[in-house]
Each structure stands twice: as structure tokens, then as C-alpha cells.
Amino acid sequence: MANVLIVGAGPGAVDLLTLRAARALGEADEALADGLVGADVLALAKSGTTLVIHLGLARLLNIVARLIAAGLPPDTPAAAITSGPTDMQGHLAATLAELPARVAAEGFASPAIVVIGDVAALAGIPARRAA
């Protein structure tokens, strides 16, 4: 059975997290955050955790730089999805290091989500509907 833990991270400062919250993030398989959560908080996630950042495009360059500085490999798969699910939806896949430049080059804007981790490598695979 899966557990969901909702943690308040304030403005994203690591020292505002409780020990339980930091431990839970370090054990999580997925972490969902909004654009206000600092990359330092996301860097507490264990290796292999999928990070999903909602409304983080304005701070994407900073988030990516801090995740890489905290040890996340620059070649980690990443994706951005904008305006989904609408007729205006766009998505792209890149490495973590390439993502900010690709997002800027494509003119992506909010609302958008950013997905970082192995699951982002699936962005180029067409979606299928269940039968």
C-alpha cells in the first residue's frame, strides 16, 4: 500500500523542515512540489526519486543549477509539459542540464510542470489508452 505524506516546506528553506519531513523525502519514490519549494529541499530526495515541480518555470534555471550542485547528474532525464491537457499542450524531453535552454527556446510558459527522473525519458513515447 502506498503512503502519501503532505509536508509544508514554507518558502523552501531546508532548516524549516521537520526531521520527519526530511526523512520522508529521503525515502520517497516520488516528490511533488510547487515552484516555491527550493531546490535544496528537493535535493534531499533519494537517488532515483521522480521529482514533479508544478509552476516552477520562472525559477527553472535556479532549480536545475541547485539540483546539479547538490549532486543530481546533469544527464538525468527531464521533461516539461505546458498547458496540459488542452489543445495547446506542448511537451519536450531533455537532460536536466539542457532543460532550461530548451524550455526557453520553445517559448514554454506557465501553467507548466517539470518532471525530473527516469520516468521523464518516457516523454517521447506516445501515450496509449487502456482498452
* CATH class given for the domain over 19-124: alpha beta
Asked if the model's pLDDT at residue 81 lies above 60, the reply is: yes
pTM as predicted: 0.84
Q: Is 19 left (phi over 0), alpha (psi -120 to 50) or beta?
A: alpha
Higher pLDDT pick, 60 / 123 = 60
Average per-residue pLDDT for the chain: 83
Confidence at residue 76, expressed as pLDDT on a 0 to 100 scale: 94
Q: What are the residue boundaries of the structural domains of the chain, listed by start?
A: 19-124
Confidence of residue 12 (pLDDT cuts 50, 70, 90): low
Asked if the model's pLDDT at residue 10 lies above 90, the reply is: no
Hey, which of 26-35, 67-76, 121-130 has the most confident mean pLDDT?
A: 67-76
Tens digits of per-residue pLDDT, 39-73?
787 888 888 888 999 888 888 999 899 899 989 99
**Beta bridge partners of residue 80, listed in sequence order:** 92, 114
Asked if the model's pLDDT at residue 128 lies above 50, the reply is: no
CA 77 centroid distance within chain: 10
